[in-house]
A = this chain, B = another copy of it.
């Protein structure tokens, strides 16, 4: 265990933020409110000064991968409201939120776990919990933060309030030589019933950990397929599906029926990936479900695949502009938005979920890494890494509504994720 409490430094965009508060308060004719807000702003001599009138339902974070920082945004006013720095290596980072939406837990590539207070725009706590980590999740009740690690492998589970270590799950397996080893862990998600589910890349296993008891009750599913490299859970938290790097098809666990074991579905998935170099393995957590169809990125092909979620049978292939990375459903399910791997990563395509036709092709700029829809779907935010900007689109007219500066932006995460399972 390698835990250091690093308080870190937080930098505020004070002027812009306070001006915005004053304008906002003034427009609504709250004399007292304006006075208090301005006074709070002029008193901002430390990064821990509180913000008056804060509601958090329309806030979000953008990972700035090169700088180890997150930009804080408001998705009603399409504005940057602050920035927090000192988060370490964010080259493959992700974020989950506390159930009150006050804290963003940032999982860094270097094993850093940082709890950012987005209301007060500062680092609340930070621990180095491993040498190399790949993602995390927050428990159903919001009390536990789990992190999956490459080095030394395994899963560590922390108290969401204090970041104190609660449980260490080394994820040991026995290899072909009969040796006990610790596995890299991937595809970590939260599931209903206070559970975490994850996959052992080296161990070829899926584990389900039930945290209704302490230590957690762990159920191991062995020989699920070679080298699971990522996974998703369906929006209702029922189906856990892992992609396999070492063979074709996908490994599926029905969490309502663990007694049925792990099944192989879509046996052709990944086949033919040798035909083209695979520039980037697609993100499985981006799978879209619209009606009874699920839309998934093909591996190494210029295609989006569809399958039926009742029969688990492939139903079609949609030719697209490049190798898809994220395949995401607009919240109303009417459209599927797709971005692509290098060298086609300047483009987004929008598919009609019913006709399966390409409806629109957009060119946001150089290196489109991620998309995040506002919760009710009227806008989508797009990070354009090599242009150092984030663009906000109207999803009805496809117009650009705003462009915001960000340093090498990657993942975008809005606070409504606090209320969803499996993110």
Chain A interface main SS type: loop
Residues 50-72 of A contacting B (Cβ, < 8 Å): 50-58
| Residue numbers in B under 8 Å from A418 (CB-CB) | 57, 375, 416
| Residue numbers in B under 8 Å from A33 (CB-CB) | 48, 50, 120
Give A106 Cβ to nearest chain B Cβ, in Å: 17
> How distant is the Cα of A53 from the Cα of B117 in the complex, in angstroms?
10
Range for the number of chain A residues in contact with chain B: 35 or more
Give A47 Cβ to nearest chain B Cβ, in Å: 10
Known: A50-B33, A292-B292. A55 touches B236 (CB 8 A): no
Decide if A279 is an interface residue (CB 8 Å cutoff): no
Decide if A268 is an interface residue (CB 8 Å cutoff): no
In this complex, which of A52, A97, A377 has the most chain B Cβ atoms within 10 angstroms of its Cβ?
A: A52
- Determine if B193 and A55 form an interchain contact, defined as CB atoms under 8 angstroms apart: no
Please tell me which one of the listed residues B97, B192, B354, B396 contacts residue A256 in the complex, with CB atoms under 8 A apart: B354
| Residue numbers in B under 8 Å from A30 (CB-CB) | 48
15 A-B pairs in the complex with CB atoms less than 8 angstroms apart? A30-B48, A33-B120, A52-B52, A53-B54, A53-B102, A57-B419, A140-B377, A192-B376, A194-B396, A212-B396, A238-B332, A292-B310, A375-B419, A376-B421, A416-B416
Besides A58-B101, A140-B377, A375-B418, 17 new A-B residue pairs in contact (Cβ under 8 A), listed by A number: A32-B46, A33-B48, A36-B50, A53-B119, A54-B54, A54-B119, A57-B97, A57-B102, A99-B376, A140-B376, A141-B378, A192-B377, A193-B332, A256-B334, A292-B292, A376-B421, A419-B419
